[in-house]
Chain A
């Protein structure tokens, strides 16, 4: 019996009911083929994936199609989702990103193959046994982009939405390439340096 999935807007906190997180929903899909969970994920993520795709210049019709394909792939691969390795939104993002690369460049996104015998595994580092409380995690990540200076956030957003390498952004905006790179590095360092976020990211 799975609790009724609702968006994470906190409106049900007072009732004391444990809300399934998006991570819980993905796990429920992977383990039990839970359609209610999938419907909730679809309602929340499909429109966001569609918007993400359209911002890269993909037509509305094609973006709608690709967003559907993304959610279908989420259903099909949910069994392989590992909450210890990624948040739900991160995992769903990678599926959407791969669809975008397919569509825009007609080539498959080049993944790293974990089954490659040459794959070098991480050091045996104690993976955060003290995991953050879910709400702290979310708050940390939610504030990430908003805590950056505007000039850094602008570049991160542009890289994220517009399918352009940094040299193209430099050419378009007139911002020197060196400046763009250093702002991105500063942003990434700030994000990774945040105490709460450190626990999420190695």
Chain B
């Protein structure tokens, strides 16, 4: 039975995620995985560019002008006379020692991997291996995951956001096939289960974000940081410590 490449891509969660990227409200880990996806997907870029067009219209027509300080314009007019033209940053990443199964990484993913001197997969369960990507101070966590052919995660839902970018092999979810460059996103409103392609398995980048926890009125973004996913003999459970 051939599985069609599904157009789930245009679902609510996916579109909202891309709009969030265009509006600059994602954190670093989330932005990296989305930017990598956009590198590989012209259709996704079309959607984010549409959001940027919208944002431009809002900037131009919706933002009430806030008068600039008196000296601002003079300062800038003087600065531009100096005609500074900084060179475009050369994105020359030195990523070596990365395993073949990761495939060629789009530039956004090469940046955090530059310092990696020896890459090793860590087993997180039978047939599941992970590599945690060091991103410094970031609320979301990112890791590469390698899953053996045919293995499934049981149905689960997330307190927060889970974004998966397929880098190699394929993932089957809800009857649809996701290949290299495809992005899957799930949040607390979604219950899902995914399976690594029975022929090739899969290698993905997975970004998980802790749930938003509201304390007090209009208080926001109080994510708790102890959010782990353990894979135990093919089973997946979400353990949260509050």
Contacts and interface: CB of A to CB of B under 8 A. Distances in A.
Interface of A: 33, 35, 38-39, 42-43, 45-52, 54-55, 60, 63-64, 67-68, 71-72, 75-76, 79, 86-94, 96-98, 100-101, 105, 107, 109-113, 115-123, 141-142, 144-145, 156-157, 159-160, 163-168, 170-172, 176-178, 180-182, 184-185, 188, 191-192, 200-202
B189 interface: yes
A155 B73 CA distance: 34
A42 B32 CA distance: 32
Contact of B66 (A50, A160, A184): A50
Given A64-B69, A92-B59, A112-B35, A171 B214 contact: yes
A35 B80 contact: yes
Contacts of A180: 16
Interface stretch (B50-58, B113-121, B194-202): B50-58
Given A97-B23, A157-B58, A141 B53 contact: yes
A172 to B, nearest CB: 6
Given A122-B42, A180-B16, A67 B58 contact: no
Contacts of A38: 77, 80
Contacts of A116: 39, 91, 106-107
Interface stretch (B82-90, B123-131, B141-149, B231-239): B82-90
Contacts of A45: 59-60
A200 B85 CA distance: 30
B134 interface: no
Interface in B201-227: 211-214, 218, 220-221
B91 A115 contact: yes
Nearest to A71: B76
Contacts of A88: 56
B53 A87 contact: yes
Contacts of B75: 68
A94 to B, nearest CB: 6
Given A119-B39, A120-B41, A185 B66 contact: no
Given A68-B72, A111-B35, A177 B57 contact: no
B57 A141 contact: yes
Nearest to A50: B66
